[in-house]
């Protein structure tokens, strides 16, 4: 199994994103906010990797 951050880094190096969509997040059913935290981590990683790509 590959780490998500490695896959995100690879995607950001190869492509440009037009948008990101997360569907079917139900806060009332989110155990200990794990889904919400995962979504936030993925978004911040993508934004950070894209920003670094734009600078270099």
Per-domain residue ranges of the chain: 4-15+28-55
Q: What is the pLDDT of residue 1?
A: 54
Q: Which of 36, 48, 34 is nearest to 5 (CA)?
A: 48
Model confidence, pTM:
0.71
Question: How does pLDDT run across 5-51, given as a tens digit for each residue?
Answer: 788 778 888 888 788 888 888 999 999 999 999 899 888 988 888 88
1 versus 5: the higher-pLDDT residue is 5
């Amino acid at each position: 199994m590959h780490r998500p951050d490695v896959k995100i880094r690879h995607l950001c190096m190869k492509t440009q994103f037009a948008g990101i969509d997360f569907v079917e997040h139900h806060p009332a059913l989110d155990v200990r906010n794990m889904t919400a935290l995962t979504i936030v981590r993925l978004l911040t990683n993508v934004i950070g990797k894209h920003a670094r790509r734009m600078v270099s």
